Amino acid sequence: MSLGRVAFVVLGCAKNQVEAESMSSRLARDGWDLTADIPNANLVVVHSCGFLDAARQEARDTLGNVRRASPKASVVLTGCFAQYLNGRRLPGVDAILGTGQFDRLPAVLEGLRRKRSAPPAIPRSGPAGYHDASRPRPLPPGQLSAYVRISEGCNHRCTFCVIPQLRGSLKSRPPEDIFAEARDLTDRGVRELVLISQDTTDYGRDTGRRLPFLIEELASWPKLDWLRLLYAYPSEVDDALIALLAGEPKLLGYLDMPLQHIADPVLKAMARDSGEKETRRLLDRLVKRVPGLALRTTFIVGFPGETDADFRRLEKLVDTGVFEHVGVFPYSFEPRSPSARLPGLVPTEVVNERWQRLLDAHRRVKAKKDAARIGRPIAVLVERGPAGWSARAAHQAPEVDGGVRLARWPRRPGLFAAAVTGVDGFDLKATLKKSAEAPVP
């Protein structure tokens, strides 16, 4: 017998998507019917981001939209914005669960279903703990890529970031738990696993079995073709990881490594572990030891105290072409972050001008890199989801790096050989090779 219809609205990053999938799987097992039809849902869970003010405002707007679309439904707020509220109430929200209390969701929903008085807000009871996502997650037919979360929390205390306040310190997930989830996903047809966390490279610092151990085990599985790393911290990218990037065929030559800046005064104000000299040495080592490495990074422009000279150093670094993908964020004033107390706020118009200049610098570099790919062979992972067909190459992570537009689609999803024929913005154009009706090994 069905307990009712529950809908999830997921905001924010891939880590939130994984958590929502795990929660929805648990509720489905308990007897809830999952639906995307919010107006006809009995309960709606909004799983939120709270990293920036813009994300918190998006959560508020989403809650209002949900309440208007389904005025009779019970509404539950979960995730980082819920943790940020720290027990404060919101109008129109029936219950609020912080990041360390996902296991209470079934009981809260049952109370709301029975019209019992559910606590309007469950305040934080200590630092956010690790969320166990070992239960089987929903996997639509045709989806060949999946995120796997390997840890929760972060030990770094960057001055611009409130994540440790919302998620707590590092807590590594047990390897056997990771392997159980990954095995289930690959047994159901997943060909690419994307390892994620707040700081992927810090995995195992609290347990002793570090990231290379995970990589070596996962790469030994015959059913897995691609293994990808997101959210690496530069000071923790060591020789062991570089050797795996260079020598393990299934570990893609792709590394997402947010640097945030390059100028020493800004890095010091951010409380980053590495200065400019160490960062440039690391970039040189990566480029020399991992031929063809696709580096993704993110930068913050307009950080308090950033001078024109600091920004020009950053712009020149992007101009070198060392990065395949660059995300640029204007500094966001966060009242709870240590950076809120720093002097030297940069005027908004200057921040926006620097943001646009750095984006333009990256676009020029990216256009040259992609133009050089025309005529070259690539392997593409082809998926078919609710929105239709999609494809990506090894240098493109899901959702953030563009994709590959094929002239024709194969008869089924898989990993195929193709040739690049053109460029369209941040996407490549390609054609499948004549012999590519079967996936490449």
Q: 209 and 304 share a domain?
A: yes
Residue 400 domain boundaries = 377-432
Q: 382 and 367 share a domain?
A: no
> For the chain, first and last CA: distance in Å?
45
Residue 122, pLDDT score: 57
Whether 441 is in a domain gets the answer: no
Whether 124 is in a domain gets the answer: no
DSSP state string for 189-207: T--EEEEE-SSGGGTTTTT
Q: Is 155 in contact with 24 (CB distance < 8 Å)? A: no
- CA atoms of 285 and 277, how far apart (whole Å): 12
Q: 347 and 425 share a domain?
A: no
Residue 431, judged by CB atoms within 10 A of its CB (0-12, 13-18, 19+), counts as: middle
Whether 354 is in a domain gets the answer: yes
Q: 316 and 347 share a domain?
A: yes
Q: 207 and 301 share a domain?
A: yes
Q: 300 and 173 share a domain?
A: yes
Q: 98 and 164 share a domain?
A: no
Whether 127 is in a domain gets the answer: no
Q: 217 and 333 share a domain?
A: yes
Q: 360 and 412 share a domain?
A: no
Q: 52 and 174 share a domain?
A: no
Whether 294 is in a domain gets the answer: yes
- 25 by DSSP, 3-state: which? helix
* CATH number for position 387: 2.40.50.140
Residue 387, pLDDT score: 79
- Helical segments of 114-263, H only: 163-167, 175-187, 211-219, 239-247
Residue 137, pLDDT score: 78
Q: Of 347, 371, 395, which residue constitutes the final position of a domain? A: 371
pTM of the complete model: 0.87
Whether 191 is in a domain gets the answer: yes
Rounded (10°) CA dihedral 95, 99, 103, 106: 30
Whether 86 is in a domain gets the answer: yes
Helix (H) or strand (E) holding 5: strand 4-10
Residue 127, pLDDT score: 43
* CATH number for position 313: 3.80.30.20
Q: 351 and 265 share a domain?
A: yes
Residue 116, pLDDT score: 58
Low-confidence spans in the chain with pLDDT less than 50 = 123, 125-131, 438, 441
Report how many domains make up the chain: 3
Whether 438 is in a domain gets the answer: no
Q: 92 and 34 share a domain?
A: yes
Residue 107, pLDDT score: 84
Residue 128, pLDDT score: 43
- Paired tokens of 224: 């897995």
Residue 163, pLDDT score: 84
Closest by CA to 36, choosing from 57, 9, 3, 15, is: 9
